Chains A and B, each alone.
Chain A
Amino acid sequence: MEPKVAFFDFTSCEGCQLDALNLTGEEAVALLNAVDIVNFREVKTERADNYDIAFIEGSITRESEIPRLQKIRAQAKVLIALGTCASIGGINCLKNHLPMEEALKIVYGKDARYYNTIPARPINAVIPVDYYIRGCPPVTTEIIKVIKALLLGKKPDIPNYPVCVECKMAGNVCVFERGMTCLGPVTRAGCGAICITSGRHCWGCRGLVEDPNIDSEKEILKKYGLTVEKVIEKFKIYDTYAEVAK
């Protein structure tokens, strides 16, 4: 009997779920042979409340989402945060810098009174999480890797080193040497340094490594010409929840 897998989305763009689907035909068939997907809004309309593994996408921004998430936690044997919003809060947390009424007004204008909102938070601020698949969006191969690890009963091997490692493996010229700045040195790898390889810099979407040397990174960003405000702004984009919590 294949384990039953369910995908749930909270406050998010659902891009993570789309990425989970970014498979070749062959891979998709293999995946469907290995697991029984019972709940996946992006794929099928039927739903079931009986599942073993829950993937949670998105962060928590409304009161009503909390009991819903708790119910999923109670049902799932294994619960996985899928993507940056679920894992570390992500860009939804940018609004936490404003009073909630103001945030509502900016987004909904005169209709703001019909909505309510709470400061955004990652799902582990509400319930315990077993595994994290970070990234905005996450890498499909990593999603598959985690599923395979769970099927084999081993701990998924998620890198705990910074993007620099994969960037060097990719043979890139360092972003700093090209006159730009980058969050790669403190951001968890696993993405294959895709942004830098494509000519951009690292935005830190996968969040920080376990023991990041933030002070040193800030000094380096300043040395390469960023003001303190700009440095803070850089860190804010994806990881603001942790930053505000400090």
Chain B
Amino acid sequence: MDKNSVLIVDDEPIVRESIRDWLQDAGYHVATAETGEEALEIIDRQDFSVMVLDLRLPGKTGIKVLKEVKTQRPWIKAIIITAYPSAETAEEATKLGAADYLIKPFAPDDLEKLIRETLNSVVQEPKVLTEVQVLPKPPALPTVEEVEVKKAFVISKDGLKSRVESLLKVMEVVGVKSKHGKYVYDKISSFDELHLDYDVTVMPPTRYLLPARENLLKFDVGAKPKVKPVVETVPRAIIGVHPYDIKAIELLDRVFLTSNTDPNYSTRRRNTIIIGVDPLNPSPKSFAPSMGTAFAETGFDLLLTDIGDDYMVTVGSEKGADLLAKYAKVRKPTGDEIAKQKAVREQALAKYKLSLDVPRERLPKLLEESYDDPYWETRSKTCLSCGSCVMVCPTCFCFDVQDEIALNLKEGERFRNWDGCMLVDFARVGTGENFRHDKASRLRHRMYRKGKYIMERYGVVGCVGCGRCATACLAEIASPLEAFNAIAESARVKEAAARLLREARPETELYVPCLADLVKVEELTPKEKVFEFKLQDGKKLGHRPGQFVEVSVMGIGEAPISISSSPTRDGTFQLAIRQVGDVTKALHALKKGAIVGIRGPFGNGFSLEALEGKNLLLIAGGIGLFPLRSLVQYVLDRRRSFGKVILLFGARSPSERLFIEELAQWKQSPDIEFHETVDKGDGSWKGNVGVITTLIPKVEIEPAKTMAVVVGPPIMYRFVIGELKKKGLADEHIIMSLERRMKCGVGKCGHCQINGVYVCQEGPVFSLAQLRNLREAV
């Protein structure tokens, strides 16, 4: 390529011609174009070092032209000129890779200087082994009706053979060959080496778009380092690509061609012809139909189906149409042949033995809910961390980047090579920290990518169901199908259990309260009372600490009230209630013997499984003690199941202290370390004065072994969390109970929703780790 070649694109003749004259005088070789379309046509034929591009053009805008040029010839340096500058266009142009932005009118010297600098900043001439035009422009198509994109034709087997043989003369042809009884993609030198009826290849064809190792840059080191991009490719046809691999390539296109276009991938992709073939003998490990990848409608240039004596060939692109048109021995299929194609495809479908037990659209949600499933831990025990699964995966594309320097220590290259999230060091940073240090988290991450993350990020399936990883994995744990089905099964078991519980209660009773007798009332403070109820049907409430009930006073209404007593005590349950609204006011007026309605228990309650065996730091502010008391009682009744237990309680003033007798008992108890404080003391108060956060620094905890449970007014949370983080507690170890408006308690009415979560269903108890993703929460 001519290093001093410049293309000027401007619709104003005066601008175009004056720039041309200046630059020609300065020794550049200049071509001009009046419109974007004209510019693209010229660039299609000829390479340039620099393009001077006006933004406002008739027809295609400068931005569109820039975008296309950058995919076609990413190395061309673009200098944007405009009389209508704006921050938006400048930013957009820069994002698209414009080298500079010049505002009209400008002096000739300024432009010339800019071009000179642009040329010197990066050595041009990327190493492109081919000029970009893959094929000579074909002779005129026979007729448009004959060979057209999206249509299918019939080509004889001999016809296909001579087509491939003629391709071999103009480019590298890669196809499926047999090796050690398996199939591999490799360069072929004759059609007869091809196996078009293979089941699956060891490695996917994606390596021809994203090689195991490729150079990205060449550089000189030293005081004045020089850097130049390296793009290496040859025109190549890949024959025999199965639809699942075609789908994988479509994913790679999304990853590498949309936003931050990868020049190396882009160049190679444009120089690659994909000739697919329908798999008629699928691999026994494949589950492509479940992933929607058994057939492809797009993503190929041509697609073959073996229909016996001939092949049906479907045209998928203009490139494919050109290919076929150049060799006109195709004809339209007969009705029988179309029926035959349909039949062989259906026969092939019937041969798949494996399938997903859930629709693939549900995988993201299923995985989302299975983060803590024990599957990851148990299944990853035998993982060798050998990386075989990610290496053979057509949808894996992660890479490492390294510098390699020559022995003269003066020049070197920066290359990338395959890397994968199943390898131990994948997420290790310079300081030694490894963000995915255990096998379970790596296995989970890979499965999340395959079933969730890629789908969410790129809108297409992250696993194409080829089954290669299942074959490559010696420990037999790599198959996403198996993982997805296993967690689906575990979700089904959970769901079945939940259904069993639901069904135990007839549907008509969802909103019908059970009647309960008020057996005892006790005043705690002038505003708060504790009520003891007994269900009339004689059953236990069956709650866990942290759950709540909906209490009805018929005619007044229903209110959500947390349960203050432990399920370990008696056949009654206690609700401590502050008088704040209509229902609580009515409740406060009730006397022993009154009857109320109770629905519930509702909500998740405190996860006793997560708390058992741990040290507990229980923190209650004000009436936060109401729900927490249930847990305190539970812990005291099952004392041996827990480690060291510390309880902190803060009230606003001595007169607002709650459950005074119990506080005194806890103070005496050897089973619990109890501290309390009041915000404001009075004459009689001899204890701590200060907000509850002042107690936290005074207690000693082992952060790794301690779970903190915090219940109190919303204002309290932020400060308490701050203190707990100072103590070194992880987000997963900080548990909170949230208060929200709740009308139904059964996940229907919508009042309690925080972002996507219903507090009455997934809450009211959350870990801080969960809340970090719920921005409305605290």
Interface set of A (CB-CB < 8 Å, partner B): 27, 30-31, 33-34, 144-145, 147-148, 151-152, 157, 160-162, 164-165, 168-174, 176-178, 184-186, 209-213, 215-217, 219-220
Contact = CB atoms under 8 A, between A and B. Distances in A.
B407 A34 contact: yes
B323 to A, nearest CB: 27
B382 A216 contact: yes
A162 B387 contact: yes
Main secondary structure of the interface of A (DSSP, over half): helix
Given A148-B409, A165-B420, 13 more contacts: A33-B407, A161-B385, A161-B386, A161-B424, A162-B386, A165-B387, A165-B418, A168-B472, A171-B186, A174-B388, A174-B472, A186-B386, A213-B383
A169 B418 contact: yes
B387 A161 contact: yes
A186 B384 contact: yes
B402 A148 contact: no
B418 A162 contact: no
Given A30-B406, A173-B182, A220 B474 contact: yes
Contacts of A145: 404
Contacts of A211: 385, 424
A219 B383 CA distance: 12
B408 A34 contact: yes
Contacts of B184: 171, 173
Contacts of B382: 213, 215-216, 219
A161 B179 CA distance: 26
A165 B179 contact: no
A219 B388 CA distance: 17
Contact of A216 (B179, B383, B425): B383
Contacts, number: 110
Given A173-B180, A220-B474, A144 B388 contact: no
Contact of B386 (A27, A144, A171, A185): A185
A161 B417 CA distance: 13
B164 interface: no
Contacts of B424: 160-161, 209-211
A51 B88 CA distance: 61
Given A161-B387, A209-B424, A168 B203 contact: yes
A213 B385 contact: yes
25 contacts: A152-B409, A161-B423, A162-B384, A164-B387, A165-B386, A165-B387, A165-B388, A165-B423, A169-B417, A171-B184, A171-B185, A171-B186, A171-B203, A172-B202, A174-B474, A177-B471, A185-B388, A186-B386, A211-B424, A213-B382, A213-B384, A213-B439, A215-B382, A216-B381, A220-B384
Nearest to B404: A145
Contacts of A148: 405, 407, 409
Nearest to A216: B382
A118 B406 CA distance: 42
A177 B213 contact: no
A169 B213 contact: yes
A27 B408 CA distance: 9
B649 to A, nearest CB: 46
Interface in B187-212: 202-203, 207, 212
Contacts of A172: 202
Nearest to A170: B212
B475 interface: yes
B58 to A, nearest CB: 50
Contacts of B391: 164-165, 168-169
B36 to A, nearest CB: 42
A-B pairs, top 5 by smallest CB distance, nearest first, are A168-B391, A30-B407, A169-B212, A164-B386, A216-B382
B392 interface: yes
B179 to A, nearest CB: 6
A168 B417 CA distance: 12
A222 B391 CA distance: 25
